[in-house]
Structure 1
Amino acid sequence: MDSDDRIERWFQQYGNDVYNYLVYFSGRRDVEDLVQEVFSKALKALSSYEGRAQPKTWLLTIARHAAIDYRRKQKMMDWFPENVLRLLTSKERTPEKALVLKEQLQEAYEAMNHLKSTYREVLILRLIEGVSTAETAEILGWSEAKVSTTLHRAIKELQKQMGNSGREVNLHDAIY
């Protein structure tokens, strides 16, 4: 299989994952150009891909670097605008539960905007994107222990930012 075919297959398999990751990471919905850039960079770097990481992990690593580069260029600091919440809908929720979750998510995203970048990154990957600890470690270039510790600290800090008003912060349940 040649490089173009492999990247095309990966785009079909992982394009939505890369898109969603970039939306959460950048706080913007118009990330199609970044997605295209990720797969363009992947095509150029495919000869150096050794297969040690899963293709999705490798692509998300490229996506992370592309988003960081984009953010630096744009000097964008508003990571979680309200319009991201429109992406988070589910057919299984009652309208009342959906409203409560939307309010909790809004509060969580506003609090996340005040966290340091390492906390935001690990929260996005682990809780929002559902990436495993091992894959998160590989994407961020950290040890698995650091991912777990940082996630724990990020959740604690997020709860503190939200005033923890007696409820647990569980973004994963709120989103899925």
Structure 2
Amino acid sequence: MMSEQGIIEELYDEYRNDVYRFSLFFTHNKQEAEDITQETFIKVMKNIHQLKDVSKKKTWILSIAKNTAIDLIRKQKLINFLPQLLKGNDHKSHYVATDESRLINTENWRELQNAILTLKPHYRSIVILRSLNEISVKETAEILGCTEGKVRVDFHRAINQLKKELIIIKGGNYREESKSL
């Protein structure tokens, strides 16, 4: 029987790329994706005893990654809101381009990424898991803690919102390129 440390190392080796990719698509920030990946596996290490069904380890780990990413967004919103409360001014956070975004040089990819970032976190998670990570409806439902029907409906709604956002981004000249999503 493998030791707990060995199991954790195996899980890390097997799923770190999936967690990092999910985190990168979720945040569009290389440093934040690395932080989420690290924090996810710290949580995996602390909670490995809660993994009851080894056949669902990927779902379990990606659920932890999703929750960690959402926690990060909540913390950032709080951090960005605190100066407004303390100073009473209109302090606004602004997007700072990362090295990762500079490396991704195709206009369509940037437009898609920007459109994904406009989605609410739940829709963003569904699009990332279903379209970009190619996770099944069933596994997506397990990761997000909802029904398969909700995943299907919300995925459809998220795709429609993405299409609308891409039309806005492209200035009304959007081509039906997103049907492959």
Q: How would you bin the TM-score normalised by the shorter chain? A: 0.7 to 0.9
Equivalent in 121, 125, 129 of residue 125 of structure 1: 129
Q: Which residue of structure 2 aligns with residue 10 of structure 1?
A: 11
Q: Contact 1:115/1:157 (CA < 8 Å) preserved in 2?
A: yes
Give, in whole Å, the separation in 1 of the partners of 2:179 and 2:38.
Answer: 32
Matches within 5 A, 1:40-51: 40-51=42-53
Aligned CA RMSD, in angstroms, stands at 2.7
The Cα of 1:79 is off from its aligned counterpart by: 8.8
Over 3 Å counting, the alpha-carbon distance change for 1:114 and 1:70 in structure 2 is: closer
Residue 167, structure 1, aligned to residue 171, structure 2: no
Equivalent in 54, 66, 70 of residue 68 of structure 1: 70
Equivalent in 117, 131, 142 of residue 146 of structure 2: 142
The Cα of 1:110 is off from its aligned counterpart by: 2.1
Amino acid in structure 1 at the alignment position of 2:150: K
Q: Contact 2:40/2:61 (CA < 8 Å) preserved in 1?
A: yes
* SS of the residue 1:111 aligns to: helix
Q: Which residue of structure 1 aligns with residue 40 of structure 2?
A: 38
| TM-score (norm. length: structure 1) | 0.78
Over 3 Å counting, the alpha-carbon distance change for 1:78 and 1:21 in structure 2 is: farther
Give, in whole Å, the separation in 2 of the partners of 1:132 and 1:108.
Answer: 21
Q: Contact 2:70/2:121 (CA < 8 Å) preserved in 1?
A: no
Q: Contact 2:59/2:143 (CA < 8 Å) preserved in 1?
A: yes
Matches within 5 A, 1:70-89: 70-75=72-77, 84=100
Q: Contact 1:133/1:148 (CA < 8 Å) preserved in 2?
A: yes
Give unmatched runs, 5+ long, in structure 2.
81-92, 168-172
Give unmatched runs, 5+ long, in structure 1.
89-98
Q: Contact 1:79/1:113 (CA < 8 Å) preserved in 2?
A: no
* SS of the residue 1:165 aligns to: coil
Equivalent in 110, 114, 118 of residue 114 of structure 2: 110
The Cα of 1:118 is off from its aligned counterpart by: 2.1
Larger Rg: 2
Q: Contact 1:27/1:81 (CA < 8 Å) preserved in 2?
A: no
